[in-house]
Structure 1
Amino acid sequence: MRADSAYYGREVIAAARRGGARFSITARQDAAVKRAIAGISEDAWTTIRYPHAVFDEQLQQWASDAQVAEVPFTAFTSRGKKNQITARLIVRRVRDQNPEHVVADAQGELFAAWRHHAVFTNSPLMMVQAEADHRRHSIIEQVIADLKGGPLAHLPSGKFNANGAWLALAAMAFNLTRAAGALASLFHARATTATIRRQLINIPARPVRSARRIHLRLPTNWPWADAWLDLFSAALGPPPAAAA
């Protein structure tokens, strides 16, 4: 069971354990979790690199590497010994690239600022594998956030069938937009659907007729012209020649 910090609670985790499920839940950054993170020594961190960049919602930037460490952790200690749950606290830290967040020590020397993401889990996987398994949960969260910024912003309506139809159309539009981005460029393959709509779809273009052919007159000095042309060629260009 993978979940975000909204489900970091004793009742949820206890229910998972009673049902025999493994749990992997983002831990809220309360005082106990912060103390556990602060107690991790510098030599305990393991550097990991992502085969594909991961978008960090807190930093609003793409991250291609991070560091991971693990400590034993007992949660919910304030609720009495009977309600305490001991498991693994796996922490991922990502370097904050924002220069405004760089901190100076007492001697005025600058040192790197980190953002920490903690996972409370009883997963039997090795540390790096357990962290990667939990991070797969965030993929669907990014998709949901993308959809909420688009067609799902208009839900719900007062009619059940209308909601179902709109959801089906939203899923098709999302998949088509993602496919268009992948055909356009590497940048658009990772961009949000709002960016793809703004840069490749909602374009002020004018159809004109010349020599019995219709042409599409696009903006001058448009920075995304090459990406749009690659998408146009891939979607509407002639099929490749058959092998002899």
Structure 2
Amino acid sequence: LTAGAEVSVTVKMDKAVKAAIAGIDEKAWTGIRYPQAIFDEDTGTWISKAEVAEVPFTAFTSRKKTERVPGRLVVRRIPELNPQDTDQPTLFDTHRFHAFFTTTDPEVLDTVTADQTHRGHAVIEQVNADLKDSALAHLPSGHFGANGAWLVCAVMAYNLTRTAGTLAAGEFARARTGTIRARLVNLPARIASSARRIRIRLPQAWPWQQGFERLFTAVHPPP
């Protein structure tokens, strides 16, 4: 901040944040639709539209005044899929909230733009989490060159696996690479040879048959 930088930091839902959210006027919420759906890890679903609002907020209020940082609390809310009490719903039973603190001037980034900009951080974080769930779980080694080579291989594997998911379409179009590996790569199949043909025998009523067939047809078209 002293050097003139602005910050945008996700905050945990502590008492102060919840109190600030509860004080937001219902008319202050603005609908927003994302051009690309956002994965909500808490619910395991993809979110394409939500509402955003903001409220003035001061960080580090427990410290002395010179260390307190004034800014804005920007909040995104989405409807709760499984409310706990539909007869007497409360604020935090009917919506899920994701908040972040920013010091950016509202004239530079309004509420909607600030949210979109901050959500851009989540895109790369999602890729990082995906990579850590696969090849990057084996890093680092004691050799810088080996780390660089392994990272290249990890990125290649990620891109190829995501391409496989895109070709399989359906639920795999946006699935994480771990899901694609578990359901389309690690096949519960038996390879059999008959009449000079290689056949893949899969379980009957296998739930991901259509996705695998789309992928197989795209990668191995008929002669």
TM over 0.5: yes
1:238 deviates by: 5.4
Query: What SS does the aligned partner of 1:198 have?
Result: helix
**Cα separation, 1, equivalents of 2:115 and 2:30:** 12
Partner of residue 173, structure 2: 189
1:83 counterpart = 2:64: no
1:117 counterpart = 2:101: no
- RMSD over aligned Cα, in angstroms? 2.1
**Per-residue Cα deviation, 1:85-119 (whole angstroms, up to 9, x for no partner):** 212211111222134xx236xxx534552222112
1:56 deviates by: 1.2
**Cα separation, 2, equivalents of 1:234 and 1:141:** 30
Kept after mapping to 2: 8 A contact 1:185/1:227: yes
Kept after mapping to 1: 8 A contact 2:170/2:211: no
**Cα separation, 2, equivalents of 1:224 and 1:65:** 28
Kept after mapping to 2: 8 A contact 1:54/1:64: yes
Q: Describe the shift of the 1:110–1:118 C-alpha distance in structure 2 as closer, same or farther (beyond 3 A).
A: closer
Q: Please list every run of 5 or more consecutive structure 1 residues that lacks an aligned counterpart in the other structure.
A: 1-16, 240-244
Query: What SS does the aligned partner of 1:156 have?
Result: coil
Kept after mapping to 2: 8 A contact 1:180/1:231: yes
Kept after mapping to 2: 8 A contact 1:71/1:88: yes
**Cα separation, 2, equivalents of 1:31 and 1:109:** 22
**Cα separation, 1, equivalents of 2:3 and 2:88:** 51
Partner of residue 4, structure 1: none
Kept after mapping to 2: 8 A contact 1:59/1:96: no
State the TM-score, normalizing by the size of structure 2: 0.87
1:74 deviates by: 1.9
Q: Describe the shift of the 1:151–1:93 C-alpha distance in structure 2 as closer, same or farther (beyond 3 A).
A: same
Aligned pairs for 1:196-235 (under 5 A) are 196-235=180-219
**Cα separation, 2, equivalents of 1:116 and 1:223:** 33
Kept after mapping to 2: 8 A contact 1:177/1:196: yes
Name segments (4+ residues, structure 1) moved above 4 Å: none
Q: Please list every run of 5 or more consecutive structure 2 residues that lacks an aligned counterpart in the other structure.
A: none
